[in-house]
Structure 1
Amino acid sequence: MSVTVIRHKRRKRVAFYVTAEGVELRIPARLPQRVVDAILRDHADWIEARLAAIPKASRLPEDRLLYQGDAVPLIRSGSARSFTYDGQTFRCPEQWDETALRDAYEAWLRTKAVGHVTERASRYERLLRVRASNVRIGHQKTRWGSCSSKGAISINVRLMLAPPEVLDYVIAHEWCHLVHFDHSKAFWEAVASVYPNVAWAKDWLRQNGHTLRI
């Protein structure tokens, strides 16, 4: 049984979360270790069942990279000097190892994400009459997006691997938090008013979120 225990200074309650990588136990920072051990023992069967149920991400062929829901061909070329995309094919230097490729791929995705998020967010800001105080592209392990109490929004770069409609849903979701800083009925009504396919997007992330790996 493998569980990642994460302590949070502001957390008041104990909660389990199932992620693509496994099971996390998020707890208050000062919770005694003996209590943590007891929780893990009491939930051992539940944890094992959840770990067994986590779908295994299928590995893309080495000559493909995921982008906006598509497996795009990757060509390693002796003449290439950098990581590029021409709308149909990715190219990178032939001598690059996997670390160099991954770093360049993520940097490229981040640049694309900035433009995409900025463009789509402007629509929701007009509809909702709100404005984010700051927007950043992150690489969170468990969250697709977040909105702070001060109006700062973070969007996970891995969403650039999903169909554009899925990223659009997360953007709508986080910008609606600028209106309702909770997950109340009013919040979900606000999301549905600007993004009609909420159920489909949430289901897509539940079923396929584990495949979005850089």
Structure 2
Amino acid sequence: MERPFHTTPAVADAVRVDGKPRGALITAVDAVDRAVALLCQGVLLLAGTVLMGVLTANVVARYVLATGGFDWAEEVPQQLFPWFIMAGVGLAVQRGGHIAVEWLLGKLGREGKRVILLAGHAVVALAYLALCWQALTVAEIVAIERSPALGLPGSYGYWAIAAGCLLLALGTVTVAIRVALLGPEAMPQPSPEEMPT
């Protein structure tokens, strides 16, 4: 049996009834999560490769060229690093990799946990949407600024934050839908190697 995206075996069993999927909404949520994960992984791979290549080329150029390196090479990390970070944060949300304090959840029953988790996810999703809006507002203000070597607008980093916050809100909503339909057991659980020691 194929497990739904980012679920534990117990939740995967709960999703299926008599070998058939429990609902189209869970299937849709899984598809959204897969698309977001692919997007984030692609951004991480592309940005990480470009960052490594540019930084390596600049280090080599400092020793080989009389000019001491490339002027534009210092600006590339400034433009790509926000995209790299936000893509990683997007994957962390899907995999339950954020720090959480679960003292209250341990004191509640199953339905109490569901209510608290849904309320918390609603607040978090709204906060991410508010941050997205603010990032777009700031991006519009700083768009007139240009980087000295590449001539790129100062808004690129803020677009990364806005896009990342939008994906984080979407990831939070997909987790909330699973919790609403399947219960608190549907919360993503990081794999043991991702847990802090």
If the length of structure 2 is used for normalisation, what is the TM-score?
0.28
Task: Tell me: higher relative CO, structure 1 or 2? Use CA pairs within 8 A at least 6 residues apart.
Answer: 2
**Which structure: larger Rg?**
2
More helix by share: 2
More strand by share: 1
